[in-house]
Amino acid sequence: MSRTPGTDVPPDALDALEDDEAVDALDASPEIDFDLDAGAGLVQAGTAVIRRFWATLPSAPGVYRMLDAKGDVLYVGKAKNLKNRVGSYARGQGHTNRIVRMIAETASMEFVTTATETEALLLEANLIKQLKPRFNVLMRDDKSLPYILLTADGPAPQLVKHRGARRRAGHYYGPFASVWAVNRTVNALQRAFLLRSCSDSYYENRTRPCLLYQIKRCSGPCTGEIAPDDYAGLAAEANGFLSGKSNAVKERMAAEMQAASDAWEFEKAARYRDRIAALAAIQGVQGVNTQGIEEADVFALDEQAGQFCIEVFFFRNWQNWGNRAYFPKADRSMSPSEVLASFLAQFYDDKPAPRLVLASHEIEDAELLAAALSTKGDTRVEIHSPRRGERRGLVEYAARNAREALARRLADTASQGKLLAALGASFGLARAPRRIEVYDNSHIMGTNAVGAMIVAGPSGFMKTHYRTFTIKSEEVKPGDDYGMMREVLQRRFARLVREAPRAPAREGDAPGAAGISPGMPPEPAGADPDAEAFPAWPDLVLIDGGRGQLDAARAALAQAGVSDVPLVGIAKGRDRDAGRETFFVPGQAPFRLPPRDPTLYFVQRLRDEAHRFAIGAHRAKRKREMVRNPLDEIPGIGPTRKRALLHHFGTVKAIQRAALEDLARTPGVNAATARAVYDFFHAAP
């Protein structure tokens, strides 16, 4: 990575740029007028910054980043020729409103040169997913997809669900659209091929077959119930079935079943019958199958009301392995082809591409993208936008699903907007809230205490914004719910004030300590000019608790110097029955909402989600505490040395009783480490 020093360049020097690649592909959409009177000075300043960096750029492929005054990345782009591409931004003409706004905010740039444009494309996709620049197309939902793994690193292959990097040796099959599909398939494969699904440590320590063997879901290789060669044959059959030889495997099983039946071995024949039925269940649950396409991913994009939906179908071994809808964040001025091209590069950043990728729109630089995906995998990748035949039918099927998924999302968003508006009206907010934060605590008699924050907005629950807080203050006594709430809110808003200073209040904002103005109708959710940007500051804070919790929350916000965030306390009914909640608002008398009010149901959903998240965080912490090893507290003892000590002595108690000389003789433990362990367990009280 290199930062190019600034150098003044005459404006007419840019006229010498070559025409090829002089216009950014992002500017291909129709030109949109920009209010030059309001931002001409900022645009000129951004253009001057770009010209200074352009002066010393090489004519080589690479990746460039535009940064704002705070150092945040605005945009990541790739170029076959960095000098030409960056120079196109300084021409001052032919730009869309989005590009002009991006130039106006640019205060610095960073560059990485690469050997080829293919490398630049791969690096660009990786940086976009990592940095999430505001002006790029963002996937939003970039969770890894589940696979089925048939391991090959042990004496008895294991059939398991897998997510993440492919570090373990074995055969990977997928991706599947959902974990449910993987679990269903793994369960059916266990019945069909009787392969183990237990962990290696469980497998190595068995002295008798487990329950899965008794219910005919495993062949029992752990205790020798099946010969190693026979088990290897089962694994080979599973590999063949998942690799596309499903009919051959079923025919062989049918022949074995018939042979067992002819030999009057009816129990054996029944086992083959059950295995065939399990395979038929896997093949039968299909939404749409292919006749001439063995392996392909199908992408279809739909656009409505300035929002995009990309539906992805996964086809492997002539079977439909499910579909999934993505809703990328992209500027509405971008064309569908641009959005789809950027999405594809990010989608395959952490997973291999199939041999065929079908797209609903023509992809610019499709050959370049295909070459980049081919370099990451073992096969040649083809990207195609079909116009006829079976391939076109698959694309149209995916496009119909994309259209329906986006329509459902827009309807849900509209319903969510109505609920937010009603919530704002119920609590007397000046406008419908765009960001709601709900706080709750969880502990058992004060132990393993955690605080939890969940966030909701126009798109529903924003789980990427959820946070947990480990209660750290020694002043908070065990079981002090008020003290826990004060600590959580004080830490949350102190950091918010420090990292995202509050903008000056706008006219019409409700005054007062709570920011609530009783009786004022809320403004519609779309009235805010920055409605597309999810705010960092909450428009409403809900506290799971009554008057005491609310007072603790107000004290915490006052300590952080915040006085204009609306606060509402939610107290449960006398018998903790849903529907009898009492709401506490600063400056108002406690009140209730009608029992069948949709707003009340909405608040209950928010509170229940906070409660679920807090309990989950508490249970996870409690589980970690239960399995914590005293060796973890010794400085310098990492996983390797801890494993060496446990393998040598067996238990922590044996390590604690061991003499210094015995510790020093442990393989992989030096004298200094042995002394540290000995002193830890024999320190004077």
Which residues are within 8 A (CB) of 338 and not within 5 positions of it... i.e. 6 or more apart? 25, 26, 28, 29, 137, 330, 364
Domain count, the chain: 5
Q: First vs last Cα of the chain: how many Å apart? A: 53
**Do 34 and 156 belong to one domain?**
no
**In this predicted structure, what is the pLDDT of residue 259?**
79
Tell me, what's the pLDDT at 567? 93
Cβ pair 478, 501 in contact under 8 A: no
pLDDT at 244: 62
pLDDT, block means (10 residues), the chain with 685 residues: 38 37 34 49 85 88 91 91 88 79 90 90 89 86 79 84 82 78 77 83 84 86 88 85 67 76 76 67 53 84 89 83 86 88 88 89 89 83 90 90 88 86 90 93 81 90 90 78 89 90 54 41 39 79 89 90 90 66 88 86 90 89 72 78 80 83 85 86 68
- Residue 4 in domain: no
DSSP-derived secondary structure for 436-496: EEEEEEEEETTEEEEEEEEEEETTEE-GGG-EEEE---TTSPTT-HHHHHHHHHHHHHHHH
Q: Which domain holds residue 21?
A: 11-131
Residue 193 lies in a domain: yes
**Which pLDDT belongs to residue 161?**
86
158/251 same-domain check: yes
For residues 552 and 437, state if they share a domain: yes
Whether residue 666 is contained in a domain is answered as yes
Is 140 within the bounds of a domain? no
Residues 336 and 368 in one domain: yes
Length of the chain: 685
Three-class DSSP category at 415: helix
Instruction: Please enumerate in sequence order all residues whose Cβ is within 8 A of that of 327, keeping only pairs 6 or more positions apart, or say none.
Output: 140, 141, 307, 308, 309, 310, 406, 409
In a domain, 448, yes or no: yes
Please identify, among 256, 284, 312, the residue that sits at the C-terminal boundary of a domain.
284
**Residue 290 falls inside a structural domain:** no
157 and 246 share a domain?
yes
The pLDDT of residue 34 is 45
pLDDT at 522: 43
CATH classification of the domain holding 675: 1.10.150.20
pLDDT of residue 33: 43
Tell me how crowded residue 447 is: count the other CB atoms within 10 A of its CB: 12
Do the domain assignments include residue 418?
A: no
Domain boundary among 106, 131, 156: 131
User: Among 577, 592, 619, where does a domain finish?
Assistant: 619
Q: Are residues 431 and 366 in the same domain?
A: no
Question: Is 121 within a domain?
Answer: yes
CATH number at residue 125: 3.40.1440.10
What are the residues facing 144 on neighbouring strands?
none
pLDDT of residue 645: 83
277 plus 384 within the same structural domain:
no
In this structure, is the dihedral angle defined by the CA atoms of residues 226, 232, 237 and 242, taken in order, positive or negative? positive
pLDDT of residue 576: 54
Q: Are residues 195 and 271 both part of a single domain?
A: yes
From residue 39, how far is each of 46, 97, 453, 506, 533 by CA, in Å? 11, 11, 38, 20, 20
Tell me whether residue 428 is exposed, middle or buried, using C-beta atoms within 10 angstroms of its C-beta: 0 to 12, 13 to 18, 19 or more. buried
Ranges of H-type helices in 132-227: 179-193, 200-204, 211-214
What pLDDT was estimated at residue 4?
40
> Does residue 84 sit in the same domain as residue 194?
no
pLDDT of 241 = 76
CATH number of the CATH domain containing 464: 3.30.420.340
- What per-residue confidence (pLDDT) applies to 521? 39
Same domain (yes/no): 41, 100: yes
Please check whether residue 585 is in contact with residue 521, taking contact to mean a CB–CB distance below 8 angstroms: no
In this structure, the answer to whether residues 474 and 573 fall within a common structural domain is: yes
Q: Quick one: 225 and 323 in the same domain?
A: no
